[in-house]
Amino acid sequence: MNKITSRFWRALSLTSWVMASLSFVSMAGATEEALPSLSYDQTGERLLKVQANQLFESTDGRAAWTMIPLPDEVAEGRLVTVSATAEQALYIAGPSIGVQRSIDQGESWHEIDEGLPSQDVIAFTVHRNQPETLYAVVVDDGLYQSEDTGTTWKKMDSGPAQAVRRLIHSDMEGSMQTGWLYAVSDDVVRLSMDCFCGWRPTGDLNAGRVYDLAYKLDDPEHVYVATEQGLWRSDNGGQEWQQVRGNAPTLVALTLAPQGTLYALDREGELMRSEDQGQTWTPPDA
């Protein structure tokens, strides 16, 4: 009897250990994926931050964040990105959230993803100069485009083979169509013309995990990427990268204001600012 009891407790403790290990891996994955994101709303002259499934704005470029109301469904999903357009529309997107639009600063939200095959949207962006043109990456499916603010969607491409963390539209010159799309994956940044005739890796960027990308609005060939090994800069759209030497902490989200001010978030969602192309960073209140 004692032998049976001993085996039972041993099996139970082993099972508990396995379960605990699995839940640790799962939590680690969840933590890893729940990085904050940042964008600059040119029309509203404000910073927009997504952190811990919540949406915030800062209108003074400082770390005073005001919460923007979100739809209830966000609690069941994972909010990954926010975009604002010249028409003062706000878009949010994420797995299990799909794509939702608000034109009253978050007081009400409308799902605009009926034309997508699922609500598992892992990346989203708005065309730089055409606010009615939206792009959404659906997990394990591909990249969809809407040219009527989400009323209809059309699959354009299967997308890069690697999962896309961020999608950014750029009006950099040289595209056959109207611009380019940067797709940030863990391993590298890829680029495609917005006619989707092939994804090309940007220049060598041996910098560990890649987190985010931002480009200068009035000079889109100037691009920055935040990586595990610091900040990198390109003056030719990403063909070649140079590491920015300075005091930057590990930054996981980046955006550029029109005057060239770089804003970034660290892992904890703390805002940092640089006025010298990423060399020195200070908290905005400093």
Partner 1 sequence: MRKRWILVTTWLLMSAAGQAMAGGGPSSRDTSRLEEGERIYQQYCASCHGSEGEGQPNWERQNTQGELPAPPHGPEGHTWKHSDAMLYRIIAEGWRDPWNKTERLTMPAFEDVLTPAEIRSVINFLKSLWTSEQRHHQAEESVGASFPTQSE
Q: To the nearest whole angstrom, how small is the minimum distance from the Cβ of residue 223 to partner 1?
A: 13
Cβ closer to partner 1: 1 or 176? 176
Where on the chain is the footprint of partner 1 (CB under 8 A)? 154, 156, 173-174, 176-177, 195-198, 200, 237, 239
Residue 68 pairs in a beta bridge with: 55
Contact 123, 117 (CB under 8 A): no
Beta carbon nearer to partner 1, 3 or 154: 154
Least distance (Å) between residue 277 CB and partner 1: 23
Residue closer to partner 1 by CB (options 97, 205) is: 205
CA end-to-end span of the chain, whole Å? 69
Structural tokens at position 39 = 């964008």
Query: How far apart are CB 156 and partner 1 at their closest, in Å?
Result: 7
CB of 196 to partner 1, least distance (A): 5
CB nearer to partner 1: pick between 44 and 201: 201
- Strand pairing category for 54-58 and 46-51: antiparallel
Query: Closer CB to partner 1, residue 168 or residue 271?
Result: 168
Taking the least distance from each CB to partner 1, the nearer of 86 and 197 is 197
CB-nearer residue toward partner 1: 44 or 203: 203
- The strands making up 210-216's β-sheet, listed across from edge to edge, are 210-216, 219-227, 230-234, 242-243
